[in-house]
Amino acid sequence: MGGNLLLAQNCPSIEFNYDATGNRIQRHQIQIFCVSSGNNTSRFSDNDKNNVVKDTLNTVAYPNPTSDKVLVNIIDDKNDNHWNEIYLIDVNGRVLYYSKTKEKMMEISMYSYKSGIYFLRVLSDKKQKIFQIIKTD
């Protein structure tokens, strides 16, 4: 990183769903990361104020730093029947891994990724928790 400070923040964005023939059928807001380095900042507009995501999900992710895998444990008791979404995001905002499950304990392999900083976003029932994960060799 050569001495540059990278700052990441949660930024809203729009995601589209498509049918089997490629036609756009649904639009919804998602939260992604904006990365700022010096005077260079990516920003997105917040168009959907009704889809509020609260940073209140009771979740742990370990070990951190890691060279192999990250275990994610959703502890939230009131969350039994909700879908859980897991995103692994690099510092450029690209989603490297995505999973949608009702499981409360998940394992994410970090083995194939380069050493560096990643963001793990766990989303469930309009609650979320974001972790900064450090991948080592």
Q: What is the pLDDT of residues 44-102, one digit of tens each?
A: 333 334 454 566 788 999 999 999 999 999 887 665 678 889 999 988 888 899 999 98
Q: Does 112 map to a domain?
A: yes
**Torsions phi, psi for 43 (to 5 deg):** -135, 150
How many secondary structure helices (H) and strands (E) does the chain include? 0, 10
pTM above 0.85, yes or no: no
Structural domain total, the chain: 1
2 against 124, higher pLDDT: 124
Cis geometry, peptide bond prior to residue 63 (ω within 30 degrees of 0): yes
Q: Does 30 map to a domain?
A: yes
CATH number for the domain spanning 110: value is: 2.60.40.10
Q: Does 45 map to a domain?
A: yes
Query: What is the pLDDT confidence band of residue 41, given thresholds at 50, 70 and 90?
Result: very low
26 against 64, higher pLDDT: 64
Q: How many CB atoms lie within 10 A of CB 15?
A: 11
Q: Does 1 map to a domain?
A: no
Please compute the mean of the pLDDT values over residues 110-135 and round it to a whole number: 90
Q: Does 121 map to a domain?
A: yes
| DSSP state letter for 125 | T
Cα–Cα distance, 6 to 56 (Å, whole number)? 25
Please compute the mean of the pLDDT values over residues 102-106 and round it to a whole number: 90
125 against 14, higher pLDDT: 125
Q: Domain of 32?
A: 6-135
**Cβ atoms 89, 95 nearer than 8 A:** yes
Q: Does 14 map to a domain?
A: yes
Compute CA distances 28 → 6, 13, 50, 75, whole Å. Answer: 28, 8, 11, 27
- Which of 13-17, 43-47, 56-60, 105-109 is predicted least confidently? 43-47
Q: Does 54 map to a domain?
A: yes
